[in-house]
Amino acid sequence: MPESKFTPTQADELATAFAQHGVDYLFIGKSGAILLGYPDTTQDVDVFLPQSRENAERVLLALASLGFSLDAATTMSVLVGSEIVLLKGGPFALDLIHAPDGIESFEGAKARRIVAGKFPIASLDDIIASKRATGRTKDLSDIGRLEQFKNEYLREKPSR
C-alpha cells in the first residue's frame, strides 16, 4: 500500500466525526502545524487525546463512522489509553497519542490550544516541545523551521 500524504480533507473528516461523537482532542505534530499554514507535508494525522475511558469510547464510535477497521487489541489500546496507537487500517493513517513527549497534560495543552475554524490544535510551543522531547533526528530537524513558522504566525496573528 503506497503511503499517502496528510490532507486538510482528512483533518476535516476527522474533525467532523469527532464533533458528531463529542470527542475531546487536539491536532498535534506536523499535521497540527500544517493546519495553521506550516508549509510542509506529513504521512499521517496526529491527535492528542485525554486518558479517559468515556472519551475513548466516543473515539471508537467516530473511527468506526469513518471506516477504520480496528481489531480487538487495537480497540483495547484505545480504551486503556496506550501512550500511542498507530492506525493504518482505515481511510488514512492516524496516530492516537495519549502521552506525547514534552507535554505534561492534556488539560494544560488544551488550555494553550489554537482553534482554527473547526480544528482544535495544540499550540506551536507544545508542538515544538513535543518534537524536541522525542529526540528523533527527523523531529529535531523540523524544530528550526517550526520556530521560524511560529514567529511568522505570531506576527500575522498578534491576538493569539
* Gap between the Cα atoms of 16 and 56, Å rounded: 16
Query: pLDDT of 98-124, one tens digit each?
Result: 999 999 999 999 999 999 999 999 999
Q: What pLDDT was estimated at residue 156?
A: 85
Q: How far is CA 151 from the centre of its chain?
A: 21
- The full 3-state SS of 75-125, as one line of letters, equals HHHHHHCCCEEEECCCCCCEEEECCCCCCCCHHHHHHHCEEECCEEECCHH
Region 131-157 average pLDDT: 92
Q: Are 41 and 5 in contact (CB under 8 A)?
A: yes
* Gap between the Cα atoms of 155 and 160, Å rounded: 10
Fold of the 8-152 domain = Beta Polymerase; domain 2 (3.30.460)
Query: pLDDT of 122-138, one tens digit each?
Result: 999 999 999 999 999 98
End-to-end CA distance of the chain: 40
Query: pLDDT of 27-52, one tens digit each?
Result: 999 999 999 999 999 989 999 999 99
Domain boundaries, the chain: 8-152
In order, the DSSP letters of 123-149 are -HHHHHHHHHHH--HHHHTTHHHHHHH
